[in-house]
Amino acid sequence: MSAICFYFQIHQPFRLRPYRFFDIGRNHDYYDETTNPAIIKKIAEKCYLPANEIIHNLICRHNGNFKVSFSISGSALDQFERYAPEILTSFQKLVDTGCVELLAETYAHSLASVASKKEFRRQVSQHVGKIYNIFGQHPKVFRNTELIYNDAVAHQVADMGFNGILTEGADSILAHKSPNYVYLAHTPSELKVLLKNYKLSDDIAFRFSDQSWNQWPLSADKYVHWLNRLPEQHHVINLFMDYETFGEHQWADSGIFNFLQELPEQILSSSGFSFVHPSEALNKFEPIDILSVPHTISWADEARDLSAWLGNSLQCDAFESLYKLKKKVRRCENPEILRDWQYLQASDHFYYMSTKDFADGQVHNYFNPYPSPYLAFINYMNVLSDFEVRLNKCLRTKARLIKHKQLIENLLRDEKRSLEASVKV
């Protein structure tokens, strides 16, 4: 029997405030304390809370036959804690039903997987810890920022002990294979891969309210009809999307919440599909093939690669300037510096610097708080410069303290020796 695997992504970056050159070295508040809480509260009201309620009701009504999975970034969780704790409570209630699997990702929704192995590992374990603290669940399956994936990333994820990983069912890696199966990663140790069915996922996430789409309007009926037409031997249909699809990207008046309500009912009543968690899917279905992905893919833009974040020289220079600091940060134990180090790594900052236009550019603009990628770049570099100033200061202080401590120890030792000597005499 084939299955449907729902995974919803939840991430919110700490957006930077307008940070001027003259602030460097003087002001260490980087985040927009007006916009960030306002956005969180707005999305909670429009999306998280109503969608959670619908899902909770569905789970209760179907006695555990309806299941979903979420990945919630650390920086989103931090903002929920700070600005709208009721969101956390709502998610905790959902997770407590036992029908929700939580996935692991990088704490700050960062690009660390393509920057530094050590940093990547640190951030993942930090996120796993955070999820465990809040929800009491230990993630077994990993999903990387924006589904960024290649063989090297898979290798690292396998080494971290995960059972499986999610990524995009990009044409470039599948050729004529179907995304509706479990695959094996091309890694020394076993790691299974679930691939997003981007056609069926994007029908909901991107096209649902597009009136120029020839399938508009989309009903649960129609969608189930499509599912039923899929070959029976297919194993698992992976519907991966941003959770903000419900009520934020697709507005409530488009009927998206009705769709969310009706689809699971229709699937359970008039199709042969059941619902599975990612880890269930990995256990239930035999891998059909090995997937080799030497070149990095992601779920973003038409290109489905890294070009949304590292596609121009501004992005590359900012990225390198950031990760050049990683060794210094590791030597620095200051909690505030470590916190900012996380938040400054959010992939969003690099996304804002994208100079792509045409169709992708429109999507970029939708998410971008800056009027131009150049201003995004300047602002980010100003903040990063201040961060570097603080980092160096912190390390100097630390070095001074160590020196001081050594000096004291030496003095004590010398005193002790001279005391011993005088006793002997």
Binding site for another protein (CB under 8 A): 20-26, 312-314, 316-318, 320-321, 324, 372, 374-375, 377-378, 381-382, 384-386, 388-389, 392
Nearest to 248 by CA among 57, 84, 2, 8: 8
Task: Please identify, using beta-carbon distances, which residue of 94 and 353 lies nearer to another protein.
Answer: 353
Nearest distance from C-beta of residue 398 to another protein, angstroms? 17
DSSP state of 39: H
> 3-class DSSP state for residue 168?
strand
Query: 386-393 — which CB contacts under 8 Å span 24+ positions?
Result: 386/19, 386/23, 386/24, 386/25, 386/27, 386/28, 386/30, 387/30, 387/325, 387/337, 387/340, 387/341, 387/344, 388/325, 389/24, 389/25, 390/28, 390/337, 391/325, 391/328, 391/329, 391/332, 391/337, 392/328
Q: Which residues pair with 187 in a beta bridge?
A: none
Residue pair 282/164 in contact (Cβ under 8 Å)? The answer is yes
Nearest distance from C-beta of residue 115 to another protein, angstroms? 15
DSSP state of 147: G
Task: Please identify, using beta-carbon distances, which residue of 70 and 377 lies nearer to another protein.
Answer: 377
Nearest to 168 by CA among 202, 128, 210: 202
CA dihedral of residues 64, 66, 67, 70 (deg, nearest 10): -130
Task: Please identify, using beta-carbon distances, which residue of 155 and 393 lies nearer to another protein.
Answer: 393
Task: Please identify, using beta-carbon distances, which residue of 367 and 374 lies nearer to another protein.
Answer: 374
Task: Please identify, using beta-carbon distances, which residue of 363 and 391 lies nearer to another protein.
Answer: 391
Nearest to 145 by CA among 11, 327, 342: 11
Q: Is 268 left (phi over 0), alpha (psi -120 to 50) or beta?
A: alpha
> 3-class DSSP state for residue 331?
helix
Task: Please identify, using beta-carbon distances, which residue of 6 and 319 lies nearer to another protein.
Answer: 319
Nearest distance from C-beta of residue 410 to another protein, angstroms? 30
Nearest distance from C-beta of residue 375 to another protein, angstroms? 8
328 to 315, 331, 389, 397: CA distances (angstroms): 21, 5, 12, 13
Task: Please identify, using beta-carbon distances, which residue of 25 and 64 lies nearer to another protein.
Answer: 25
Nearest distance from C-beta of residue 217 to another protein, angstroms? 42
Nearest distance from C-beta of residue 28 to another protein, angstroms? 10
- φ, ψ at 277 (rounded to 5°): -80, 160
> 3-class DSSP state for residue 123?
helix
Nearest distance from C-beta of residue 376 to another protein, angstroms? 11
User: 164-168 and 192-196: which strand pairing?
Assistant: parallel
Task: Please identify, using beta-carbon distances, which residue of 25 and 161 lies nearer to another protein.
Answer: 25
Catalytic site residue from 101, 146, 244, 248: 146
Nearest distance from C-beta of residue 317 to another protein, angstroms? 4
Name residues whose C-beta falls within 8 Å of residue 61's C-beta, 6 or more positions apart in sequence.
none
Nearest distance from C-beta of residue 347 to another protein, angstroms? 18
Task: Please identify, using beta-carbon distances, which residue of 99 and 383 lies nearer to another protein.
Answer: 383
Tell me, yes or no, if 336 is annotated catalytic. no
Name residues whose C-beta falls within 8 Å of residue 200's C-beta, 6 or more positions apart in sequence.
223, 226, 227, 237, 239
Name the burial class of residue 195, with classes exposed (0-12), middle (13-18) and buried (19+) by CB atoms within 10 angstroms of its CB: buried
User: Which residues belong to the active site?
Assistant: 146
